[in-house]
Amino acid sequence: MSTPDQAACYHCGLPVAGGLHACHGDIDGVTHPFCCSGCLTVCKVIHESGLDGFYDKVALRESQLAPPPDMPADLDQYDLDEVQREFVLVQPDGTFEAMLLIEGIHCAACVWLIEKATGAMPGVELAEVNLAHQRLRIRWHPDRLRLSEIMHRLSAIGYAAVPFNQDAVEGQVQRSNRRLLFRMAFAGFGALNIMWISIALYAGAFSAGDPAMAQFFHWVSFVIATPVLFYSGGPFLSGAWKAVRAARLNMDVPIAIGALATYGYSVWQTVQQLEHVYYDTVVTFLFVILVGRYLEALAKRNASSATLRLMELQPRMATRLGEHGEERIAVRKIAAGDIVLIRPGDKVPADGTVTAGDSHVDESMLTGESHPVHKFLGQRLAAGTVNGEAPLQMCVEHIGSGTALSRIIHLVESAQGSRARVQQIADRIVPWFVLTTLVLATGTFIYWLGQDMDTALLAAAAVLIITCPCALGLATPMAIAVAAGFGAKNGVLVRNGEALEHLAAVDHLVFDKTGTLTEGRMRVVGMHVYGDMDADRLLQLAASLERQFSHPLARAIAVAADEKQLGSMACEKASMLAGAGVVGCVDGHDVALGNARLLEHLGLSEHESVEQPGNAGACIWIAVDGALCGRVMVEDRLRDGALELLAELQRRSFGLTVLTGDSAEAASHLRAALGGDVEVVGDVLPEDKSQKIKELRQQGKKLLMIGDGVNDAPALALADVSMAMGSGTDVSMECSDVVLMGSELGRVLFALALGQQTLRTIRQNLGLSLAYNIVLVPMAMAAIVTPVFAAIAMPVSSLLVIGNAVLIRRRVRSL
């Protein structure tokens, strides 16, 4: 529908030219009052929940797409269940978790302040700030604390917060950059004009010019510098004032003190008609700091763009099939159970199962797999993947935050906002950094005051400006953000920064064989029958029992029976004997299947037919009514690249251990197939894996355990760092530190290289930031460095740290 060229938002009353939307999304096609982009999102949720009367009273102060510097007046809306459903995750323990977009974060001191202020609130379990993305990950107990109270607390210490969503990110970045550009341009205009005046003043002084003219230029400089200080420097002044009111210190405090002291001294000189004014210094260093912050914001966005790239995979619209044919709707209106049509070239709108069609789907943006994956009836599809050559119909199963794409984004964001242990150095320094800066500046001023007031003022201002923990605070988060994003792009999902640090220290790898080094798709390769029972009859009995279980060996036997079109018999009392096998009653017969331990349990281990099979597969013994009737041989093929991976790891001097539940004979065959110095341990029960991990750790080894995340959870938890093999777009493994998307084993080497390079980069960044302060702070205290040079050096140090972090991509790619 059309919109007027100029109209006001129905809810917030703000005049908006163009870009308006029909209130409530024009759901029924009837002309409604208009919404601005910010009110529209909440408006839709409230309207569809039948709460229009309440929302008519809500007055949002600015667009949600671009959160304002001041917190919106009505925060109670974010406590409504209907609104929270859009952005709050309910944890298994009943706590709520949300990601808030924070405006006003500039440095590590801001991070420390926000985490301390919110983390101390009763009911808050976790408060973790992502400096690179300017987001707060908050987890709280809803019965003890409301989200609006947390947001009020943030407002009280000087930070505006809104719930995070993709549109809010884009709008906030654009709005913030636009405001920064305006302030920077205003300061630049003032700096350019005041510089000409300064040149005229210096030229007049050297040529014995007219003192009255010099005084006139002083007042002109005052007129230019005053609006620059309070408009362009406004964020620093307001940030410092709010910090002082909250009895906290951030980096706005020393910048504001330096600017106000230099400006105040210049005003005093002007009023007293004295010679030395430094309006040009105030305006120029504000301009340079704003330029640095703008470049820093662009660099951060580029360095940590992985989540934005993933978010862009989610389509906006979908084609739903209903009683009246095709219907083009917004993705957010899709519900579980809907049937959607995915045309060639379309993105899959949600997670689900193919109900009709045959095509190939590009999953490379999610998993890094280079080849399209064949999809047909019964195959699973993931949101964000791209359909190939033919249309598909899909039954929707998971939407919104329940999709694989959403879980991947959550994992990447959690990793980017997490901390490595090495960051504890910076965390211990930052709280004292601002106080130390003020003390050093005061000492510098007192030292030089006895010699020269001008020198004392400029030296103290230089110390206040140049001593900044920004580079120190960015050293670790930027490296982790880049590494986590680059890993996700290549099919390696890292759960937290500490995992990257542990990966760098690994010297021994432990593999679970089934589903890791092998494909995890068992197949029957042989069957031997003892006695008079028919082979098909025995296989039918065995398959009828195994169909009650989901173990790979059980599926292999069931598939073998299906291939022979052997029907299923009634099965009762099916149960599992841990580490031995399964038992049950099939068609009136007591049937048992398992390994040698099962034979011992049944008293059949001394049977004359029991012999060790001479291959690398698994042997499943079958007993019917207490008599040994036969055995089935099952094998699992090694994954492509498994032998090459182990050979390369040995070449790099990593220790290798492979754990398998197969017999000792089968383990011996596997050891021969793998070659080299690989330790293969057979007859390993699930609990034995944990014991083996403990033994290796007691030997002083730094372990990486790689499993399938199914029955390896205890062993994965005991290793220094754990890695689970994903399956396509399955990222449901909660027990591992790293998830490999897809089946390409070469990503193990990539993950190791990523961890090593990330830790190396973090150490380099910490060294750069510490060297910067160690070298330049004494120079500022010695009055060698001017405030303008300090304003240039401060952002340059941050840009160096960010640039070094970005190089992780190139360095890992070249390994």
Q: Which residues are catalytic?
A: 512
Among residues 725, 351, 300, which one has the least CA distance to residue 477?
300
Cα–Cα distance measured from residue 671 to residue 740, given in angstroms and rounded to the nearest whole number: 25
Cα–Cα distance measured from residue 713 to residue 696, given in angstroms and rounded to the nearest whole number: 17
Residues in the chain: 815
Q: What is the DSSP letter of 24?
A: G
Strand pairing class (88-90; 581-586): unpaired
- CA 248, chain centre distance (Å): 29
Q: What is the DSSP letter of 401?
A: G
Cα–Cα distance measured from residue 716 to residue 719, given in angstroms and rounded to the nearest whole number: 6
Collapsed DSSP state (helix, strand, coil) of residue 578? coil
Cα–Cα distance measured from residue 736 to residue 494, given in angstroms and rounded to the nearest whole number: 9
Backbone region of residue 212 per phi and psi (left: phi > 0; alpha: psi in -120 to 50; beta: other values): alpha
Cα–Cα distance measured from residue 768 to residue 798, given in angstroms and rounded to the nearest whole number: 10
Identity at 202, one-letter amino acid code? Y
The answer to whether residues 602 and 624 touch, using CB atoms and an 8 Å cutoff, is no
Strand pairing class (627-635; 618-624): antiparallel
Cα–Cα distance measured from residue 757 to residue 805, given in angstroms and rounded to the nearest whole number: 10
Burial class (CB in 10 A: 0-12, 13-18, 19+), 610: middle
Cα–Cα distance measured from residue 689 to residue 510, given in angstroms and rounded to the nearest whole number: 10
Cα–Cα distance measured from residue 510 to residue 700, given in angstroms and rounded to the nearest whole number: 14
Cα–Cα distance measured from residue 361 to residue 734, given in angstroms and rounded to the nearest whole number: 26
Cα–Cα distance measured from residue 461 to residue 17, given in angstroms and rounded to the nearest whole number: 44
Cα–Cα distance measured from residue 262 to residue 279, given in angstroms and rounded to the nearest whole number: 8
Task: Give residues with Cβ within 8 angstroms of 303, minimum separation 6.
Answer: 132, 478, 481, 482, 802, 805, 806
Strand pairing class (655-659; 679-681): parallel
The answer to whether residues 351 and 402 touch, using CB atoms and an 8 Å cutoff, is yes
